[in-house]
Amino acid sequence: MATQFPDDFKCPISLEIMSDPVILSSGHTFDRSSIQRWLDAGHRTCPITKLPLSEPPSLIPNHALRSLISSYTLVPLPEAHTNPDPNSLIQTIVSVSSHLVCKLDSLDQLGRLCKRDSSIRRRLTESGAVSAVLNCVNADDTSLQAKALHLLLNLSLDDDNKVGLVAEGVVGKLVAAVRSGYGDSRAVAATVLTSLAVVEVNKATIGAYPKAISGLIGLLRAGNGRERKEAATALFTLCSFADNRVRAVENRAVPILIQNASSGLERAVEVLGLLAKCAEGRKEMLGYDGFLEILIFVLKNGSSRGVQYGLLTINLLCSCSERMCLEVLREGIFEICLGLLEDDNEKVRRNAKNLIQVLQGKNRRNLS
């Protein structure tokens, strides 16, 4: 239907008939939704002239053009396509002649399609579209990189796609984004790694990838609140695989996790619980002054999940250290465990019971 309209009725960005035309200070008219996306991406130039816009940019309704478009058909303005063709959207992303805002719009539309339709996720993964998206992950433009990462996250929702994405080489791009991405790209890249690592075979592949675990640990050390939480979540998922626990410890994860735990990031306590399952992790933790006080605070004030992993960590440390057992008994954790035997969370009750048995066994041996 749009091809029956004069070209002046089409937005220069979306190439769709404008439903809410507005004029920029440059004198050019765009559909409001398209130019707003351009401005929201941080651009302050006209997409056509490349000249600077007024600050703040003004969007003046073009009532005359809107009236012309309405009169031309004598029917309500056409709505945007509800089911855009994925192939044409991919072509827009791939084409070197495509304008940046068109690529952003195409990534947006593909992301929405993938989020609600598993068949489209499979279709895109099998069609070779992933390589085009990965090229966008390398882009210097922060918005393009972020939208490409969000699309990869949506593509990774299906377990069938997770192995295929890793085979396409997505891990290297994600690791690079975790280490040096822009804006919220580092957090989103860590989230995609978490999604991919749900599949067991991917845990080994990602963990063995150069700088994957060290990159997440670096983000945990220097990132903002959201980045640290996503990095800890990715490490938790990866460290359910035994080899990755040793890799994390070798990359100095323990002191950084303890520091984050002391700052209130409970997910760090969960990762520590997994690292305590390996001898290397327990050795690091036992040599860290003040660690037990942090775990006691979690037992008294944390969520059920935090308490669960705090108990697990103490249990594992007590199982291999007489000194830790004595400290735990001296600090009153035995009494805390007795109170937790009535907790609503079954895992908390079980971990509390296990720790009580360990402490009772150590205490009997000491008495004898």
- Per-residue pLDDT at 50: 86
The contacts of residue 4 (CB under 8 Å, 6+ apart) are none
- Per-residue pLDDT at 366: 53
For 122-131, write each residue's pLDDT tens digit.
888 877 788 8
- Mean pLDDT over residues 102-126, rounded? 82
Take residue 39 and report the two structure tokens written for it. Answer: 């401005």
Secondary structure (3-state) at 35: helix
Q: Is the bond into 56 cis (omega within 30 degrees of 0)?
A: yes
- Residue 97 forms part of a structural domain: no
- Per-residue pLDDT at 140: 81
Take residue 92 and report the two structure tokens written for it. Answer: 């827009």
- Per-residue pLDDT at 81: 43
- Residue 243 forms part of a structural domain: no
> Containing domain of residue 55, as a range?
7-73
- Mean pLDDT over residues 20-40, rounded? 87
pLDDT band at 362 (very low <50, low <70, confident <90, very high): low
- Mean pLDDT over residues 169-189, rounded? 93
For 314-340, write each residue's pLDDT tens digit.
999 999 999 999 999 999 999 999 999
The contacts of residue 55 (CB under 8 Å, 6+ apart) are 44
- Report CA Rg, the chain: 27
d(CA 14, CA 25): 19
Lowest mean pLDDT among 32-41, 210-219, 249-258, 276-285: 32-41
Strands (E) across the chain are located at 21-23, 29-31, 60-61
- Say how many domains are in the chain: 1
- Per-residue pLDDT at 179: 94
pLDDT band at 84 (very low <50, low <70, confident <90, very high): low
Asked if the model's pLDDT at residue 104 lies above 90, the reply is no
User: How many other C-beta atoms are found inside a 10 Å radius of the C-beta of residue 123?
Assistant: 15
- Residue 305 forms part of a structural domain: no
CATH number, domain containing residue 65? 3.30.40.10
Of residues 99 and 343, the one with the higher pLDDT is: 343
- Residue 57 forms part of a structural domain: yes
State the DSSP code for 222.
H
- Residue 21 forms part of a structural domain: yes
Pinpoint the alpha helices (H) of 117-252.
Answer: 118-127, 129-137, 142-155, 159-167, 170-180, 185-196, 200-208, 212-222, 225-238, 242-250
Lowest mean pLDDT among 37-46, 123-132, 195-204, 210-219: 123-132
- Residue 53 forms part of a structural domain: yes
Asked if the model's pLDDT at residue 204 lies above 50, the reply is yes
**Under a CB-based contact definition with an 8 Å cutoff, are residues 29 and 65 in contact?**
yes
Take residue 337 and report the two structure tokens written for it. Answer: 């465990």
HSE, side-chain direction, 13 A CA sphere, residue 323 = 7
- Residue 285 forms part of a structural domain: no
pLDDT band at 368 (very low <50, low <70, confident <90, very high): very low
Distances (CA, A) of 145 to 43, 57, 148, 207, 313: 15, 24, 5, 23, 38
- Per-residue pLDDT at 274: 98
Asked if the model's pLDDT at residue 367 lies above 50, the reply is no
d(CA 291, CA 298): 11
Secondary structure (3-state) at 52: strand
- Residue 29 forms part of a structural domain: yes
Asked if the model's pLDDT at residue 1 lies above 50, the reply is no
The contacts of residue 355 (CB under 8 Å, 6+ apart) are 311, 314, 315, 318, 333, 337
d(CA 356, CA 317): 13
Distances (CA, A) of 198 to 150, 154, 159, 240: 17, 14, 8, 10
**Smallest Cα–Cα separation from 98: which of 168, 15, 199, 159?**
15
d(CA 46, CA 108): 21
Distances (CA, A) of 128 to 95, 132, 133, 163, 332: 14, 8, 9, 15, 59
Take residue 144 and report the two structure tokens written for it. Answer: 């393009």
Asked if the model's pLDDT at residue 228 lies above 60, the reply is yes
- Per-residue pLDDT at 83: 58
- Per-residue pLDDT at 203: 96
pTM for the full predicted model: 0.75
- Mean pLDDT over residues 291-307, rounded? 96
Asked if the model's pLDDT at residue 82 lies above 50, the reply is no
**Smallest Cα–Cα separation from 110: which of 173, 154, 170, 159?**
154
